[in-house]
Structure 1
């Protein structure tokens, strides 16, 4: 017992630049309910309270998807986030949507952080050198802790080319054993913590193949884990999204081994008093945008959220606006997970930017019936692949104008059973006018007569709200698992 040491690990993941309180969705009594949560000033209060009670034996790590996701972050290329994040006392992080600003701008942003950006799996293609350090070592409470980062590996595979220009991304499983060995033998660490943005399923498979990690802080897939998963000897936690939760893992360590642990998924409740210093930084970051973003642009009768895999009310709103704007027969958007809920009542401009902070232009294309099936099969494989390493993306591609009957458990290219366009079965060889946003909505290899319109997404959403007050965007059963 004399050598036993305690350590508290705090996790933040997928906060998506939600500076302050926002609506969050919870399940209660078999239905969705909404309440205010989150905000970096409340996160700061929780972390300071934990640190005060634990004699500085507290490690605070961020799994990424932090510098992008709301208008104030997007419009400043992440700069608005820097003072706030530096005030939180984070020890290390890794990345995903941070690459949206381009590798050069992201590298400059990372240099302004007061803690290291870590990634064992991102390489400069010209020099073959790592773009960020693979690990850092932190000493606290008599322990040497190795912190290893794995960035999201799909940046150069599914995201726009500008995100990964000049870079290459790997899964990290080839590099990880060597890094673990270096930390154990050269750095003489007592504990190794993996800060990952691969996704929960991917992390679980990786940890089944590579031993030696004590704790894995998992991100990307927005899981709310109310108790840790255990893979071999590794504890795995993930803690929701939008900064609505923190994960807390209290460890007892003896002889370089975790011998006991306690876990808590902490809701960042609205009643928590904001930390004054961080709250002031948040106010400064939001002030230039406050008046414009608070403008009321409509009203909704439907609670809008992205809390489901196959179809969501938030994306039905977006897709309805695309169809009305273009007169197309079908509409597609990507299966985004982020975007705080919008409860029934007034809708502000800020709400619209939370749906899609990039505000991309609307595009149209003509798709053959067989291309639509191929596109859906590809997307379903990226969502439900049996091998977690083949899962690349968010949820199922958001669609409107069709009804697809699918078998989720089937292998690739065998999931789509039937597709109907309205009441008529999809016809191979027939072209269907289609609206979409971003290459993730309809990849460039599909369709012909592709056109980018002058109208941007936010304008289409505003126009739709003006014509439909209140908005109705209920679920339609677009994808039916049979």
Structure 2
């Protein structure tokens, strides 16, 4: 029996947490040195969401700083996550990997004319230690958002088995790079045959030793650069089958930082800062942003939403703005600092009765004081709702809580059966807070970020 060992290392869901990247780098450089001394090859993969525009480096360099860091560690392959796919414009994504020294593998992304993007391939056959490894890439198909950006994204469930069969016919081992999340990975393992390992991402699970589903090994290594993933496969060349496969999620929390990588990140920060220093307007007086009482800047964002989306009403939670703006020059960096979220605007058609229910709930202390992370929101607290095109009156009752007494549109009470076009944040349509928005039959999503609308509003108004 001749066993060939395949060593694979991977990262997933860094989300531009560069404070951990130099530790990841230290770990990977140590592994590289070990393999060079042993004369054994290995693969290095990234599973997507390496980029996150919440960080100024990613925002300022439009993700190219992330690509540079992957290049420096000599990654072999990467797939895209939803952060690369739907928080970058189509043009930005098409240009993101122009200087990449690794190949991008994603099989379910197309131009709307049916052709594949030039920066990506659907799969790759890579010979590793004498074994042919077939590598397929897939990403989570947020169809509506990709369509808005000019892409077509397919569900892997509709075509993947045929592709796996094709790749399997050319390979000894088949690896699926999946930015689909653990639930989908488990379902794919149950429904598809011929996949040896699914290296996963998206849901940020820490699978310290992986899980086996229908003889497929599934692995994932957390988020934010806290872990690096390892996969080891022992392949029997004589009998042409996998003997063993193991997975590990290795913490890098206590590792020493790599000095060269830390310096690269520092230089990228300076480069990004220069790009973000562009002045968009000058304020003669401060624009305050309060979370628990009405203030000017959230009102401006609500107005920007209403105008940009051509809606009757604009509404946004004040906590979407992390801070106000001081008088003087306002730069792109200032806007990014106070509104870093990868959250998009949308327009929802709601009946007056539904809108009344939403507003009444939004103004409760429970929601106003709610602290949460997720759905793209990177703030501290929800805050009160700011409105444009709507007047909401509340009163403090004997129970110590604020209660909505009147909701006026154009000076008139909301009409229960009348429809209103409401511009707001897309995260409110995902059902966690306001099921009325989730179940609305008419929803229109826009590709811009909320900070783009705020920047547009300030540039044209001040």
Provide the TM-score with structure 1 as the length reference.
0.61
Question: Would you say 1:13 and 2:12 are equivalent positions?
Answer: yes
Query: What is the CA-CA distance between 1:319 and the residue it aligns to?
Result: 9.6
Q: 1:356–1:269: structure 2 CA closer, same or farther, 3 Å change rule? A: same
Query: What is the CA-CA distance between 1:119 and the residue it aligns to?
Result: 1.3
Within 5 Å, which residues of 2 pair with 1:86-235? 86-95=71-80, 96-99=82-85, 100-129=87-116, 132-154=120-142, 156-158=143-145, 161-162=148-149, 165=150, 167-185=151-169, 187=170, 189-235=171-217
What is the alpha-carbon root mean square deviation over aligned residues?
A: 4.7
Within 5 Å, which residues of 2 pair with 1:67-466? 67-69=51-53, 70-95=55-80, 96-99=82-85, 100-129=87-116, 132-154=120-142, 156-158=143-145, 161-162=148-149, 165=150, 167-185=151-169, 187=170, 189-254=171-236, 255-269=239-253, 271-276=255-260, 278-289=261-272, 320=291, 324=295, 325-326=297-298, 331=316, 353=337, 356=340, 368-370=352-354, 394=375, 429=416, 438-441=425-428, 445=442, 456=454
SS in 2 for 1:8: strand
Q: Could you tell me whether the CA contact under 8 Å between 2:348 and 2:443 is conserved in 1?
A: no
Q: Could you tell me whether the CA contact under 8 Å between 1:332 and 1:441 is conserved in 2?
A: no
Consecutive unaligned residues in structure 2, runs of 5 or more: 277-288, 303-313, 321-332, 360-373, 386-400, 408-413, 430-436, 445-449
The number of aligned residues is 360
Q: 1:86–1:179: structure 2 CA closer, same or farther, 3 Å change rule? A: same
Query: What is the CA-CA distance between 1:49 and the residue it aligns to?
Result: 1.6
Q: Which has the higher helix share?
A: 2
Consecutive unaligned residues in structure 1, runs of 5 or more: 22-37, 294-317, 336-348, 376-392, 403-420, 461-482
Structure index of larger Rg: 2
Q: 1:53–1:115: structure 2 CA closer, same or farther, 3 Å change rule? A: same
Q: Could you tell me whether the CA contact under 8 Å between 2:343 and 2:376 is conserved in 1?
A: no
Q: 1:362–1:242: structure 2 CA closer, same or farther, 3 Å change rule? A: same
The answer for the alignment partner of 1:51 in structure 2 is 32
The answer for the alignment partner of 2:286 in structure 1 is none
Query: What is the CA-CA distance between 1:84 and the residue it aligns to?
Result: 1.4
SS in 2 for 1:101: coil
Query: What is the CA-CA distance between 1:195 and the residue it aligns to?
Result: 0.6
SS in 1 for 2:156: coil
Provide the TM-score with structure 2 as the length reference.
0.64
Q: Could you tell me whether the CA contact under 8 Å between 1:13 and 1:241 is conserved in 2?
A: yes
The answer for the alignment partner of 1:386 in structure 2 is none
Q: Could you tell me whether the CA contact under 8 Å between 1:320 and 1:400 is conserved in 2?
A: yes
CA distance in 2, matches of 1:221, 1:7: 26
Q: 1:430–1:146: structure 2 CA closer, same or farther, 3 Å change rule? A: same
- The C-alpha deviation readout for 1:297-340, integer Å capped at 9, x for no partner, is xxxxxxxxxxxxxxxxxxxxx993796554799855999xxxxx
Q: Could you tell me whether the CA contact under 8 Å between 2:15 and 2:52 is conserved in 1?
A: yes
CA distance in 2, matches of 1:399, 1:159: 27
Q: Could you tell me whether the CA contact under 8 Å between 1:332 and 1:399 is conserved in 2?
A: yes
- The C-alpha deviation readout for 1:324-367, integer Å capped at 9, x for no partner, is 554799855999xxxxxxxxxxxxx8997497255979999997
Query: What is the CA-CA distance between 1:274 and the residue it aligns to?
Result: 0.8
CA distance in 2, matches of 1:263, 1:78: 29
